Amino acid sequence: MKTRQFEITENGRTEIVIIPEGDDKSYTDYIEEAQREKVTAELKSKPPAVRTKSKEEVAGALKEYNEYKKHRAEGYNKKYY
């Protein structure tokens, strides 16, 4: 199966797009144009903001994980390991 590959760069971000080529050239061109518009719009939008976790959230997650490990070490549900 033949494919078309092209690279789109916008706002310092780059994405490679690969689409399959069909028998109908006009349909393939339409799909390529639609993908170019879609990816360009995605790259122009701001990336999602990175949310850092508070110390309390991290401490709670670590406590839950350590309790889980403790139960596993004592033989709790060992049949799944």
Q: What pLDDT was estimated at residue 80?
A: 57
Quick check: 81 pLDDT over 80?
no
Give the Cα separation of 78 and 59 in Å (integer): 26
Q: Which residues contact 49 (CB under 8 A, 6 or more apart)?
A: none
Does the pTM surpass 0.75? The reply is no
Quick check: 76 pLDDT over 80?
no
Give the Cα separation of 8 and 14 in Å (integer): 6
Q: What pLDDT was estimated at residue 21?
A: 87
Task: Report pLDDT digits (tens) over 22-38.
Answer: 888 899 899 999 999 99
Task: Report pLDDT digits (tens) over 39-74.
Answer: 999 988 887 788 999 999 999 999 999 998 888 777
